[in-house]
Amino acid sequence: MPEARLSVRVDENVKRRAEKVFHDLGLTLSSGISLYLSQVATQNGIPFPLTQNQQGWCSSNDLIKQIEELKAQMAVESKIKEMLRHGVAVALFDEQLNRPYLQYPDGRREYDINI
C-alpha cells in the first residue's frame, strides 16, 4: 500500500506528552498517529467519546483511561452475551434495585439468590 506523508502543527508540550504515551504503549509517534487515523477511517468518526472535564478538554491520560475502561466494558459485555448464547446463566447486579440477580438465557431474571 502506498504511503502518504503528513505534516501537522501541534503544541510542543502536547507532542512530547503524546510521544511519552505512545512510547509507554510500545508505539512510535508515527505509528500512534497512523493507528488513530486508521480507527477514524474504520469507524467513520472519532474512535472515542469527546468529553469535557471541569478544566476543559480531557488530557491524553484521561482519554487513554476512558478508552481502556470502554475496552474492558465491551469485553465483559461480550463475555456475558457469549455465556448466555451457550445456555449459561450469568450473575449480574441491578443498580436501580441495588441487588444481584441471575440472568437466564431465556431472559428471565431471578432476584432471590444467595451469594
User: What backbone phi and psi angles, to 5 degrees, belong to 96?
Assistant: -70, -40
Q: Is position 114 within any domain?
A: yes
Q: How many domains does the chain have?
A: 2
Q: Is position 35 within any domain?
A: yes
| Per-residue pLDDT tens over the stretch 14-42 | 999 989 888 888 889 998 898 888 888 88
pLDDT above 90: residue 2:
no
**Are 43 and 13 contained in the same domain?**
yes
**Are 115 and 73 contained in the same domain?**
yes
| Per-residue pLDDT tens over the stretch 59-91 | 777 778 888 888 898 999 899 999 999 999 999
How many angstroms separate the CA atoms of 72 and 6, rounded? 32
**Are 75 and 36 contained in the same domain?**
no
Range of the domain at 30: 8-47
How many angstroms separate the CA atoms of 112 and 115, rounded? 10
User: What backbone phi and psi angles, to 5 degrees, belong to 53?
Assistant: -100, -175
pTM of the model: 0.45
Q: Is position 108 within any domain?
A: yes
Q: How is residue 12 written as a grid cell? A: 510542543
